[in-house]
Amino acid sequence: MEPTLLGDLNESHCGYRSALSTRYASKEMQYLFSDQFKFSTWRKLWINLAIAEKELGLLITDDQIDEMKANVHTIDFKQAGEEEKLTRHDVMAHVHVFANQCPKAAPIIHLGATSCFVGDNTDLIIMKEGLNLLLPKLAVVIKNLAAFCEQYKSLPALGFTHLQPAQLTTVGKRASMWLYDLLMDERALRRAKEDLRFRGVKGTTGTQASFLKLFDGDSSKVKALDRHVAKLSGFEETYPVIGQTYTRKVDVETVSVLSSFGSTAHKMCSDIRLLANMKELEEPFEKSQIGSSAMPYKRNPMRSERCCALARHLITLSANTFNTHSVQWLERTLDDSANKRITLAEAFLTTDAILMVLSNITCGLVVYPKVIERRIAQELPFMSAENIIMEMVKKGADRQICHEKIRILSQEAGEQVKIHGKDNDFLIRVRNDPYFNLILPDLDNILDPKTYIGRAAEQVTEFLQEEVEPILNKYIISNEMCRVQLCI
């Protein structure tokens, strides 16, 4: 690169920008991880601390609190950056900037607190709000897919085990397996949110020593302060024991459930890609969409491919939280900070991005019954062998003799398919063999695909009623939410 050219370029395009913010994640999730939300939350926490300290008897005035409230969102980021260069400490930089804006409140801002009071508590607030954003989006995908399962619960389709043709299933039954994984993810995300507590006001090593001094040794007031600040901040409980930070096991649990969702999305979208290759199923494809720059006829499953790509990244993020938690020495070390800034944000933003794409996919899946029917016709002759044997036995035939007849005819038909590239003529051979005259009148019924799907349709109906509906009843989902349009 020629350095002299940099001056002629647009500076806004000369630095790294995450694709999560420029292409994939929603604006509301991006805002949650923005500097504005983060540092406004710090200021709200300082206000909550002051309110609770005042109510418990410390000399703090309403004027000081009102002054802070008036400046929650008016952050001078330039000045904060300059302060941080001097102090090499982000929290103290923002304390100084806030104090300059609130001269009356300056003496009591951050009173008794440590940096992790704002840092950790803000992370917990962000995680809670992030889960609040993700859960309804997950519910939309569940609702879309439930409607798909209901619509196609009775449509027979060739099943696959080991990616080899197996017994029949139905299109809706197959999709219900994706849906069950999503229900497990909903449960896990909901539990993760419910399990989140507040770090609270615990001091530098978690002993609350500074607050005990502020309240002249009154433990009851220190405990009340911890509870009150938590409630003002939207939490009912605080973690009972911590070091300087809440245990990073919390990050392990939270990011792990997001990574687990990543495996669900990857499995589901991989299946869609395989079915697209078979031309049985397609994701939505807009009229003006281009599948390939060189091959105009292509309808690539690009949304499912994007989900798989993002999901692989999401799955790997859980390892960061395990590694970080495992090396938090004694009361804490600071080698969690840089990692947390990246890992937590990317885990939530990536999950958000995947859910947006999945919502788009699931509201417009296209099924091709004739292709599915043709594939069944190619494989069903061999699958019908057991049913033919059973019907022959019912008519008085010897099971072992019939089995040998079927074995020979099926191998002959298989040779026609594999060696000569011809259609499967097994049933023609059966019809032409006088041995099977006993069942010829019943052969069409024996070959009806719907007689090979077992309880698939009933299973889907029961699953939707007993498992899916109770979950969806927890959410209010509008029709507009179910139709997500992707710009890129």
Q: CA separation (Å) from 366 to 141, 272, 300, 321, 449?
A: 16, 11, 14, 39, 21
Q: Whose structure tokens read 């038909």?
A: 413
Residue 94 known to be catalytic:
no
H helices of 278-398, in order, are 302-326, 337-362, 369-383, 385-394
Residues 6+ apart with CB under 8 A from 61: 54, 104
Task: Judge whether 403 counts as a catalytic residue.
Answer: no
| Identity at 73, one-letter amino acid code | H
DSSP, residue by residue, 424-448: --HHHHHHH-GGGGGGGGGHHHHT-
- Choose the catalytic residue: 12, 13, 162, 293: 162
Alpha carbons 473 and 484: distance in angstroms, whole number: 21
**3-state DSSP call for residue 159?**
strand
Q: Find the angle CA(268)-CA(272)-CA(273) to the nearest 5 degrees.
A: 115
How many other CB atoms sit within 10 Å of the CB of residue 377?
A: 15
AA identity, residue 198: F
CA distance 33 to 13: 21
Catalytically annotated residue among 73, 89, 219, 292: 292
Q: Is 366 helix (H, G, I), strand (E, B) or coil?
A: strand
189, 261 contact by CB (below 8 A): yes
Q: Residue 366, CB half-sphere, CA atoms under 13 Å: how many? A: 13
Q: Which amino acid is at 443?
A: L
Cα–Cα distances in angstroms (integers) from residue 472 to residues 137, 209, 374, 467, 468, in the given order: 11, 47, 36, 9, 6
Q: Which of 156, 178, 152 is nearest to 169 (CA)?
A: 156
Active site residues: 162, 292
